């Protein structure tokens, strides 16, 4: 398989994963957790004494996948994915959460993009980690404030998303090393 075909196939897989994270995260927030707060989110434990809305895991993963979409398919594919993702986040959530979900998603993914784009030349892993941290902080504050008028679950949100970003690091190292070995350059 030639390198360009490999980039498109992998980019398509990353794009599909990114798109799937959005409705699944919104579904989880309303339906999956160890505790579901009446008229609020379903929560999961993310650390000692910390809980967060359950969708945080997939939101953390989406930040990393967006970076990989950009690496394989290019900046404009990433921008398009963000715009489609913001729309999807309004259609797969409770109406009361639609604005908060779309606004937090759009803003955090753009923050991720703005950090990742200049840093990617310094290395995939560093750029993806730094941009994901920026995105998860923006997403956490915006979503909680807009959806619930409170930052009560901020620490749990940050830790929950960071868990997925850190869990993705071995895959990012593997992709980086394989890209070097194959001479596969980012799109």
d(CA 161, CA 163): 5
Taking each helix axis from N to C end, the angle separating 75-91 and 95-119, rounded to the nearest 10 degrees, works out to: 170
- The DSSP H or E segment spanning 52 is strand 50-53
In a domain, 173, yes or no: yes
**In-domain check, residue 37:** yes
Residue 21 parent element (H or E): helix 3-31
pLDDT surpassing 70 at residue 1: no
Is 75 a domain residue? yes
With respect to residue 32, please indicate whether it lies within any of the assigned structural domains.
yes
Domain contains 35: yes
Q: Is the CB of residue 101 less than 8 Å from the CB of residue 21?
A: no
Residue 14, pLDDT above cutoff 90: yes
Q: Is residue 174 part of a domain?
A: yes
> Residue 187 falls within a domain, yes or no?
no
Q: What is the rounded (10 degree) CA torsion for 167, 171, 174, 179? A: -140
Write out the residue range of the structural domain in which residue 66 sits.
Answer: 3-182
Residue 187 has pLDDT above 70, yes or no: no
CATH code (residue 59) = 1.10.1760
pLDDT tens figures, 134-184 = 999 999 999 889 988 989 889 999 999 999 999 999 999 999 999 888 877
Structural domain tally of the chain? Answer: 1
The mean pLDDT of the chain is: 90
6 confidence band (pLDDT: 50, 70, 90): confident
User: In this predicted model, what pLDDT tens digit does every residue of 93-148 receive, in sequence order?
Assistant: 777 778 888 899 899 999 999 999 999 988 999 999 999 999 999 999 998 899 88
């Amino acid at each position: 398989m030639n390198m360009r075909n490999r980039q498109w196939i992998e980019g398509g897989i990353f794009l599909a994963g990114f798109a799937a994270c959005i409705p699944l995260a919104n579904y989880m927030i309303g339906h999956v957790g160890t505790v579901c707060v009446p008229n609020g989110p379903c929560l999961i434990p993310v650390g000692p004494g910390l809980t967060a809305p359950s969708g945080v895991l997939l939101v953390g993963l989406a930040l990393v996948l967006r970076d990989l979409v950009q690496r394989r398919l290019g900046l404009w594919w990433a921008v398009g994915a963000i715009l489609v993702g913001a729309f999807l986040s309004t259609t797969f959530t409770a109406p009361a959460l639609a604005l908060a979900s779309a606004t937090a998603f759009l803003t955090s993914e753009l923050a991720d993009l703005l950090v990742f784009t200049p840093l990617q030349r310094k290395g995939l892993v560093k750029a993806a980690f730094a941009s994901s941290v920026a995105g998860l902080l923006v997403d956490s504050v915006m979503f909680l404030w807009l959806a619930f008028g409170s930052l009560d679950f901020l620490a749990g949100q940050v830790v929950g998303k960071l868990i997925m970003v850190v869990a993705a690091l071995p895959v990012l190292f593997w992709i980086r090393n394989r890209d070097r070995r194959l001479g596969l350059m980012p799109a």
